[in-house]
Chains A and B, each alone.
Chain A
């Protein structure tokens, strides 16, 4: 089920629950007739809702079975503390997996079933520039935040995970800024290739249209790069 379909099912079933909570008696059959394309998903939720959720309180602070009437938000419970710690620990482990040094932009795109060209199109760049990024031939200190945000959306990963791809790590950006270095010496030594600024790559691209170049110039100016 695609993200759009999931959202449609969420929207439809939220109406069912709203009707029920309003004291009406919604009928699954009406929903199935109206949305036959989502029949299984709607039935699945409705049966789950009546079996498990119908008695779960909504937005009312309770302790065990008793309802508090003082409207004060209870402190974080021991259970919540422990559950949250475990959750963050698992997420952190998962992020470290994404930060694997050999994870490249191409691999990240591939994990979303996208080619490098498709990825380039989604972030508003041409494939020649994305390939340079992939090969770490663009100085990370000159990459605009806007690009990272677009990449984050295209790869469906938070920015902090994106920073791990292709050497966009915060540490490298900091080092480059502090040293005022315009090149990534490590990469240059390894590949013998010229490392460019992001702006230079935009200006020198043969594939980027003039409109796209203008848009990126404006972004770079706004970010002071």
Chain B
């Protein structure tokens, strides 16, 4: 099927205007605007959709000359808008081919860090990659997901993040689900960690909130391995651990950045270290 090029351009221009309008409140830097204009120019210079010349460019085998993936996403959506499944699938195949090395690397990288039997590896690899392909295709054919037309690689990273989380939970590698928040402990049941308390002998003592052993264990973790450790913590604890152990911030600084009290930081630190201490084995890679 060959569609008049001007029709296609009209759709693109309209959507770029919509995207720009949507982001007008945002401080879009020059680089973003330049990139958008560049992608629109590349798209607008394509030969008529469905022509032989169009396919030669879409299926260009030299990666140095190949179209930006963002433009290919636009082409997929034009095919979808015309109900043209055959050509939609053909462009999707080009995209999968262009991204397969990075996606396969990612799947291997994820599995490499997990202890598993050799016979499980191929099954997990297939599942992970098929899940990723399915989610990629769903995103590619969804005209509402405009950022895929602006920054393909980054959208792909987000898609892989979703697949990774779902995989880790589904396969029982993570007991904690990142999207599920724990129930709050009633404030009245929690003793103040700041205030001195009276012990059985009637002496006033301060609660020791530091968990030196757990803290030392975190500090012993190699710097590059810390992100994998943080990733397994509940969402509300991650930023705090990151700021303290990755950026080397003080508790007070951290409290200021997160907009919480010093006490909240100490409570969360305590909670995070409790969780870390309960994990079987803090050896390198066991938490990924």
Contact = CB atoms under 8 A, between A and B. Distances in A.
A36 B235 CA distance: 14
A223 B145 CA distance: 28
Contact of A10 (B61, B137, B147, B236): B147
B229 to A, nearest CB: 8
Interface of A: 3-4, 7-8, 10-11, 13-14, 17, 27-29, 32-33, 36, 39-40, 43-53, 55-63, 71-77, 79-80, 82-84, 86-88, 90-91, 149, 152-153, 156, 158-160, 163, 170
A90 B136 CA distance: 13
B61 A73 contact: yes
Contact of B247 (A29, A61, A63, A82): A29
B203 to A, nearest CB: 40
A37 to B, nearest CB: 11
Interface in B217-243: 226-228, 230-231, 235-236, 238-239, 242-243
B9 interface: no
Contacts of A80: 96-97, 100, 103-104, 129, 133
Contacts of B103: 80
Given A73-B61, A153-B144, A160 B164 contact: no
A52 B101 contact: no
B63 A87 contact: no
Interface string B12-29: 000000000011001000
Closest 6 CB pairs of A and B: A50-B227, A87-B133, A51-B227, A87-B134, A86-B130, A83-B129
A59 B153 contact: yes
B99 to A, nearest CB: 9
Contacts of A58: 102, 153
Interface of A is mostly: helix
B62 A51 contact: no
B: contact size bracket: 35 or more
A153 B258 CA distance: 38
Given A28-B243, A88-B89, A91-B134, 13 more contacts: A3-B144, A14-B154, A28-B242, A47-B231, A48-B227, A53-B157, A59-B153, A73-B60, A77-B100, A82-B129, A87-B134, A91-B137, A156-B144
Interface stretch (B47-55, B79-87, B206-214): B79-87
A73 B238 contact: no
A136 to B, nearest CB: 20
B242 A46 contact: yes
Q: Which of B22, B23, B157 has the most CB of A within 10 A?
A: B157
